[in-house]
Chains A and B, each alone.
Chain A
């Protein structure tokens, strides 16, 4: 009999095995490092792997477990972290050349909480440069490949975290979601991704893309694992002035309740404009919509009441987002000035260049195409004469979208839609068509604009291409427990239908243990 393959287990199972003394954190961590060694050449989920650091943290975790004083439910369960979060002593590049080789002197609060809770950090995951993208192809260090089909994108910007979890390189990962960067990769890789309520997880040490939209959250293979991880990283942080100073609702408790598969008393709103009865703009794939309908029917059979809710301003969300995001990003990225950290490039042929000349040359050499595109767009949207017409109007539309949510949540406890309009497309397919790329976030963006929490749960495989699809569940701000309850119920209903988790159907990758 061969040794158990710890990489196939859920984080909750691993925590149980650690608590029961069936395995050590060092063994678990080594098993995941071995898996990374075997498959990451093909997947490229990681930008940096830290075997030494992870094993040292695992050793600590084993001591706490042996002493009978585990620091958290997940003490000793390894994790991967998106390369947009500052990690003391570990390179943090944000997928950009401008931060190549930068080693932060401090930890992001999310990272500090992972360390305090005893989760060994396996490494840093790949992403679109500064989280700008929906395919991870805008990484300056090469794309990540979707474990379901290595010729396809893993979603983005957090494609590395989603692929690492889908390829069993890590049981847990951290992502960040500004317009869908946790949820859309989850949908196209058959994994779970949660964007918490804005302010629910600290942004301190999260390299800002759009400060009013960014939110870090869990990337996992089960809803319960996401809830357990959310409880580790969430909660008030005085270092983030936008952090909500309220206790988290019981998230793991909600997930366990949902796992019974009973949805009686829950009203689910299907959004007319996102996969409902309304006209569907943006190129929805038939197989995605079919799996969505199937999920809704399963939830009805489990006792949920379904209502159709119209959110008429959601059709303007993409336009508002692509003004607000570049505007905030162009301001946030002004800090990359070649003076205090990161890349410094001297303009060629200039004797004694000025600081400004160095800054211009550095930003041209250090930023990739998509980042430049959005900085220029944001600079335009904020210029005098255009500010009111663009940025000001976009902020008003944001109000209208928030009101749409408020009205919808008077009729339904949660809203549901497909997470992404299509399954994973081919690498390179949309790389030179920014607008086509932006449409991937059609369904996920409204939640960021309004600050409400959302989860993506795998809803099956599209019949056309056999690739994963996702259902998104949205709840009112601060009611994150609802996305876990309904998400866990849907997960249980679907697992029952399929005879197991969808991820078990993912192809074995080269080098994978038999």
Chain B
């Protein structure tokens, strides 16, 4: 089991889009190691012949009738928005300066 380093935690936080503070990174890395150590045995339990289960009660091809039903109005959909204008979500810029 490879140790998970503080740098790796910082990279994971980056992937998860969370700005962790230095103090949080210091705290989190050793905790994650303890947790990962306790779950490490999992890799030795099941052989190659065991299929994975993603859902306890497998259902496939669940469709409803293709009929129009009322949904949320624009006002309802925007009711919790941090900012909106012209019936749209208003968001910060999504492109960098160089783009």
Contact = CB atoms under 8 A, between A and B. Distances in A.
Interface string A204-244: 00000000110000000000000000000000001001101
A103 B76 CA distance: 10
Q: Interface residues of B: mostly helix, strand, loop or mixed? A: loop
B35 A347 contact: no
Nearest to B15: A379
Contacts of A400: 45-46, 50
A346 to B, nearest CB: 8
A375 B83 contact: no
A383 B16 CA distance: 11
Interface residues of A, number: 75
A484 B35 CA distance: 36
B43 interface: yes
Nearest to A337: B17
A399 B32 contact: no
Given A103-B79, A241-B59, A316-B41, A399 B20 contact: no
B80 A212 contact: no
Interface stretch (A112-120, A142-150, A388-396, A501-509): A388-396
Interface string B48-73: 00111111110100101000000010
A330 B95 CA distance: 25
A105 B16 CA distance: 28
Contact of B18 (A323, A364, A390, A449): A364
Contact of B17 (A347, A360, A449): A360
A292 to B, nearest CB: 25
Contacts of A212: 54-56
Interface string B5-31: 000110011011111110010001001
A213 B32 CA distance: 22
Contacts of B4: 380
B98 to A, nearest CB: 12
B39 A361 contact: no
B53 A395 contact: yes
Interface string A372-412: 11011101100100000110111111111010000000000
A434 B92 contact: no
Given A322-B35, A435-B34, A402 B42 contact: no
A339 B89 contact: yes
A427 to B, nearest CB: 20
Given A339-B91, A354-B93, A376-B9, A393 B38 contact: no
B57 A477 contact: yes
B75 to A, nearest CB: 9
Contact of B57 (A199, A318, A342): A199
Contacts of B38: 318-319, 322, 435
A399 B35 contact: no
Contact of A353 (B52, B89, B92): B92
A343 B81 CA distance: 9
A402 B15 CA distance: 33
A399 B51 CA distance: 7
B28 A372 contact: yes
B30 to A, nearest CB: 11
Q: Which one of B15, B20, B39 has the greatest number of beta carbons of chain A within 10 Å?
A: B39
Given A354-B96, A364-B21, A399-B51, A434 B31 contact: yes
A197 B57 contact: yes
A380 B5 CA distance: 12
Contacts of B15: 379, 383
Contact of A322 (B28, B39, B46, B51): B39
A396 B16 contact: no
A334 B93 CA distance: 19
Given A339-B91, A360-B18, A435-B34, 17 more contacts: A106-B72, A199-B57, A212-B56, A316-B42, A341-B80, A344-B83, A359-B17, A369-B24, A375-B16, A376-B12, A396-B50, A397-B42, A397-B45, A398-B53, A399-B46, A399-B52, A451-B56
11 contacts: A102-B80, A212-B55, A347-B19, A355-B93, A372-B18, A372-B20, A373-B31, A379-B12, A380-B8, A383-B15, A397-B46
The list of the 6 closest CB pairs from A to B, nearest first, reads A451-B56, A341-B80, A395-B52, A396-B46, A344-B82, A105-B76
